[in-house]
A and B are shown apart, each in its own frame.
Chain A
Amino acid sequence: MLFCQIKTNVINMKILVVGEKKKNVFAYVKALREKGAEAKYLRILKFVLVSKHNKSFIKTTIGLIDKYDAIFIQSRTSLGPFIEPMLEQIEEKKIYSNCKIGSYYNSLNEPLQNVTLTTNGISCPNSIITGNEKNIEKIIERLNFPILAKSIKGKEIQQSMIVNTPSELNVFIKSMKHEMDGYLFKEFIKGRIISCLVIGNKVFAIEQTKENNDSQKINLMKGKTYRVRDDEKEIVISAANAIGYDIAQVDIINKKVISVSPIIPLQEFNKICSENIEKYVADFLIEKVKLQGEKKSYKDDLKKIRKAFSKTLFGRLFSKKKKTVIE
């Protein structure tokens, strides 16, 4: 309060929006600027991570990112191996981000996402993950048909198919041209998928108009706005947080979570829900920066008092060793 400038004043806030295509995310930059924040867009390809002895930093074509108060990331999960170490640096610099460390790995790996949600008490379709297709009929006795079967090779899901009988499942397994590293079998739940957009404690939702009889593909533009119930709201917010996101799309069916993703389909949600989602996102980011600023301020004040004291006669007499000033 005494020495440092607390970021409660929006005009002092610097927020970086990181994405892959400008047209997909520039609405957020605009919304932040309208609220008075200094917002900038930068393509994730323009980032380079550097690690030296005792120091690591994020280098971009516009310089270092240290001056930013928040970084809003909207990149695909396959960039997880790049984004994860980047998130660690962002957190170290006490910059707010909508994604926590580990979130992108959780999203990139569907079996891991499944296990993470289950261990956090979040209801998902019953599933079995296995590396071996031998005795598959016996293995999947624990599940009810229809089953969504997925094959895994390396770090990716190769193929997926809904199977209704054990013989269809065998056909799926035998259709694999190469040896797979694993399989994910999930009970396929029929019903209407609800796609929820979680922004902190706010949830916007789109419900599919038709039941998903043969596919888990969602076409948001063919959905209708949906008012989530309290229990559904709790489920989707918990799911987003369990995976590591403050802002995420969470799809549910009959109150079971089927996927969590960091990318917001902005256009679709704006159209169907008749909202300006980017303004809610902007409000959320600004609020987070304010909260972060308040937490930082007293610590910064103590450091500055200590520094000032160490320069006095008493400070020199009583201090045990010199400390370098933290930048």
Chain B
Amino acid sequence: MSSKKIKIEKKFALKEKMSIVIIGSKKFKQSTVNAMISEAQEVFDKAMFVTIDKIQIITTEKGLTLKYKDQNLLTDYDVIYPRFSSNDFLLGEAILKAIETSKAYNPLNLKSFQITNHKYYTSQKLSKEGVPGILSTLLISPKYIDLVIKEIGYPIVMKLISGFAGKGVVLVKDKGQMNSLLDTVHLFEECICMQKFVKSKNPGTDVRCYVTGDEVTGIMRIAKKGDWRSNLSRGGSAKIIEMTQEIKKIALTSAKILNMDICAIDLMDNNGKYVVIEVNFMPGPFKKYIGNLMIKKWIKFLYKKGIENKKKIK
């Protein structure tokens, strides 16, 4: 037997058997899931995707179980990767709390889910640590809007605190517009987030930084003509870009503050300086524009961290 063959066999014998479960949203994109499972099966011995609604959280005197069919996801997997959105907030929080009791590796956590699903809270958490962001406010009663206007001034971006994909975002140019909008928004949500409108050097464009551990991949997003929001789901486009050290540092620092190993940080150019506009707990991989690049990176990273975690536990 050649020495090369022996080396490969030894490596195979030493290879840890690793398993991953990806917990997704009830409404998921099939092509993304297919790609993730396909990549995961190349690397992991066992890979499963399950939607959040099919999992049962069982609490008894004996403790806690996260059940799917006959499996206990808390003990039967080495890596648990939660990929659900604010639509699954109530169940998602409970599942993330349950996952905290598991020894499996998880790149995200309950606190980061709660913060990133709250536009103002994200801004407060990051700006406190010196990450450049947008001047933001949060209020309950439209009666005290003057306290906000004194801080921000017009134009203002009004946001529902857990909006996503550009939904629930309105640009308010003056007091007249504000008064009519405020009462309407207040009907739907008790808390209203207002941010200063960021004057970009390149309007309708922003940079999405995918953070995967210590690695950052930059994508520039360009808005559809006539829309000031650059979300791809609203008809924009995207391309990979070379990032400056400034952007990389902001992205990595933000991810670290929020204790997230995998996430996407959206930045905008505000008169020559980049500011964080949003952090995504469940970033889409932009398959249409960059293929499976991010999916491959995520899976490889999860495998590596899963192995490290498993060795630590042993």
Contacts and interface: CB of A to CB of B under 8 A. Distances in A.
A227 interface: no
A interface, by DSSP: helix, strand, loop or mixed?
mixed
B60 to A, nearest CB: 5
B57 A81 contact: no
Q: Which of B55, B87, B90, B114 has the most CB of A within 10 A?
A: B90
A271 interface: no
Given A54-B130, A114-B94, A81 B144 contact: no
Given A81-B191, A105-B114, A115-B57, 8 more contacts: A47-B139, A48-B138, A51-B135, A88-B125, A109-B89, A114-B59, A118-B59, A182-B53
B141 A124 contact: no
Interface stretch (B11-19, B97-105, B174-182, B277-285): B97-105
A47 B64 contact: no
Contact of A111 (B94, B130, B144, B147): B94
Interface in B93-129: 93-94, 97-98, 100-101, 111, 114, 118, 120-121, 123-125, 127-128
B136 A50 contact: yes
Nearest to A139: B56
Contacts of A139: 56
Contacts of B137: 48-51
Contacts of A53: 127, 130, 132-133, 135
B190 A115 contact: no
Nearest to B58: A128
Interface stretch (A55-63, A284-292, A302-310): A55-63
A192 to B, nearest CB: 21
Contacts, number: 166
Contact of A128 (B57, B132, B144): B57
A244 to B, nearest CB: 13
Interface string A29-62: 0000000000000001111111111111001010
B140 A82 contact: yes
Interface of A: 44-56, 59, 61, 78-79, 81-82, 84-85, 88-89, 92, 102, 105, 109, 111-112, 114-116, 118-119, 123-124, 126-132, 139, 142, 152, 154-156, 181-182
A102 B88 CA distance: 18
Contacts of A79: 140, 190-191
Nearest to A124: B59
B48 interface: no
Contacts of B191: 79, 81-82
Given A45-B143, A54-B127, A115 B90 contact: no
A130 B56 contact: yes
B57 A129 contact: yes
B215 interface: no
B63 A118 contact: yes
Interface string B172-214: 0000000000000000001100000000000000000000000
A151 B291 CA distance: 39
A181 B90 contact: yes
Given A61-B144, A79-B190, A51 B120 contact: yes
A18 to B, nearest CB: 12
B61 interface: yes
B93 A105 contact: yes
Contacts of A111: 57, 90-91, 93-94
A112 to B, nearest CB: 4
A85 B138 contact: yes
Contacts of B60: 118, 126, 142
Given A112-B97, A115-B57, A181-B88, A56 B128 contact: yes
A149 to B, nearest CB: 14
A88 to B, nearest CB: 7
A112 B95 CA distance: 8
B223 interface: no
B143 to A, nearest CB: 7
